[in-house]
Structure 1
Amino acid sequence: MTQIYECFQITVADQIAHLQLSRPEKANSLNLSFWREFPQAIQQLNKTGQIRALIISGQGKVFCGGLDLDMFSNQIEFHAANAIDREGTMQSLGLMQETLTCLEKVRFPVIAAVHGSCVGAGFDLIAACDFCFVSNQAKFRIEETNIGMMADIGVLQRLPHQIPFNVARYLALTGDTLTAEDAYRLGLAVKVLETPEALLEHAFAVAKNIASKPPIAIQGIKRSLIYSRDHSVTQALDHTVMLQSAILNGQDILKMVQSRMSGQTAQFDDLKPIHFAEA
């Protein structure tokens, strides 16, 4: 099953979703339609309860070239002249931040598979993913610094939790480029693959591995990790007590043990679909 949007397309097979940025002729830049369609598409995947993992990649030679330049010239938010306009800018930026934050809130892991340049808003995008694989041609850059503005959609807040703080600060202040090798060395990338084909093959293999495990446990792990990032150890431990008490499933544990002993893949129930507030 494939769904086509203006800036991306989503294919779902075997409970794994693959979102491809699909404007290679525009360096997969993110225009206004992306910010409108992306959160709706991601939430739709989340609501089904059937998706076990999501892979995000880009078509062509560039993963993402950042914001479409037309947004800078056409959107009033970039040319605020008074307090009313600036309040509108505040609302628009908040919605753009929420567009990427939705990747942290969904019930399945999100894997970035980056080939080629990943700059500006593209860097914000992958910083909101659970982890990242790269090809040896991948490059990362906080491009906003180089065009005279501060990055404002999440990379400044998330990147210091993924690589050493002083390196994140250096990249943000200089707009310098981070190579695939350095991204791996610093911990931003989990693995470097030789080719785009090998990159996607590996991403799907890892997604399949995750999909073979109980989804209730996987969503608990993701939720706990993100909570721990934003809270103290004591608060995170208390949160874990409440979360584990709610989701621990002895039957899933037995299935996993039996699966390891027999060598056969265990089958687990999907999460419940979300129908709240639907007409």
Structure 2
Amino acid sequence: MTEYKAFRVELADKVAHVIINRPEKINAMNADFWREIVDIFRWADETDEVRVVVISGAGKHFSAGIDLMLLAQAGSQLGKDVGRNARKLRRTILELQASFNAIDDCSKPVIAAIQGYCLGGAIDLISACDMRYCSDDAQFSIKEIDMGMAADVGTLQRLPRLIGDGVMRELAYTGRMVDASEAARIGLVNRSYADSSALLDGVFEIARQIAAKSPIAVRGTKEMIRYARDHSVADGLEYIATWNAAMLQSADLQAAIAAHMSKKQPEFAD
């Protein structure tokens, strides 16, 4: 397994555990973070043994968002020419967006396990995940508004599809904190657990359930959900008809049917 500076990555029982590993900095997202997360999710996508990814944060908090030192460095590199500054900043923003697009584009389900602070850029991150779960001490905030800027790495684009447009606008305009119970009520997380230990136990149980399913079926299901999000119903129906014309010929379908009829647990190849 590759050694990373901002992360720790483990693989067991077909589940990859991606841990943001800067607890002394409240898991703030520094330059290493943005670069390494792309490599990690490329590895997860290309490794057949990985069927589900869980992402969590080491220590008391999930993440305090982008490292302010990184923002300061970006500002210090600007010159006097507005046009050239804009070009440089736009390129930087697109590179940061690509880091979380790597999560959204991953063909394996990605589950976020959130404890403590989940602020600013961390909201962008979890918005790109398939599912989100938290502990009762979790606190969420679209913090960019308090920094005098608009969130620019995915929150404003993905979150309205998760919690609804009006609620998203309230949180984005005010930057107020959302606790675990409200997060569950508005659909930001699927459910809340008593503490971080129970959270990880619960999330890994869900991950193992998914990992036991046909990877071909899970891959197709995620692809269809993502496609439907960005297209019409008619487009989605057309796409799955074409997709399943090939995928229904998979050995996984026969294995699942045979196991169901014999009341046995099916085993699927990677």
Asked if TM exceeds 0.5, the reply is yes
**Paired residue total:** 269
2:174 is aligned to 174
In structure 1, the residue corresponding to 2:145 is in which secondary structure?
helix
1:34 is aligned to 33
Q: Does 1:225 align with 2:230?
A: no
**Is residue 119–residue 141 contact of structure 2 (8 Å, CA) maintained in 1?**
yes
Alpha-carbon distance between aligned partners in 2 of 1:266 and 1:72, rounded to the nearest angstrom: 50
Q: Give unpaired runs (5+ residues) of structure 2.
A: none
Alpha-carbon distance between aligned partners in 2 of 1:87 and 1:184, rounded to the nearest angstrom: 39
2:87 is aligned to 87
Q: Give unpaired runs (5+ residues) of structure 1.
A: 271-279
Alpha-carbon distance between aligned partners in 1 of 2:250 and 2:19, rounded to the nearest angstrom: 37
**Is residue 138–residue 180 contact of structure 1 (8 Å, CA) maintained in 2?**
yes
Amino acid at match of 1:36: R
Alpha-carbon distance between aligned partners in 1 of 2:26 and 2:264, rounded to the nearest angstrom: 43
Q: Are residues 46 and 207 of structure 1, via their aligned partners in 2, closer, same or farther at CA, if it must alter by over 3 Å? A: same
Amino acid at match of 1:145: I
2:14 is aligned to 15
**Is residue 63–residue 116 contact of structure 1 (8 Å, CA) maintained in 2?**
yes
CA deviation profile, 1:77-130 (whole Å, cap 9, x unmatched): 884642112111111111111110111211210000001110011110000000
Amino acid at match of 1:47: E
CA deviation profile, 1:191-228 (whole Å, cap 9, x unmatched): 11111011001111111000111111101111110111
By how many angstroms is 1:259 displaced? 3.0
1:276 is aligned to none
Alpha-carbon distance between aligned partners in 1 of 2:112 and 2:22, rounded to the nearest angstrom: 17
1:275 is aligned to none
Q: Does 1:61 align with 2:60?
A: yes
Alpha-carbon distance between aligned partners in 2 of 1:79 and 1:122, rounded to the nearest angstrom: 26
Alpha-carbon distance between aligned partners in 2 of 1:9 and 1:108, rounded to the nearest angstrom: 19
RMSD of aligned C-alpha atoms?
1.6
- Identity across matched positions, percent: 36
**Is residue 44–residue 53 contact of structure 2 (8 Å, CA) maintained in 1?**
no
TM (norm. structure 2) is 0.95
2:251 is aligned to 251
**Is residue 216–residue 252 contact of structure 2 (8 Å, CA) maintained in 1?**
no
- Which moved further from structure 2: 132-141 or 43-52? 43-52
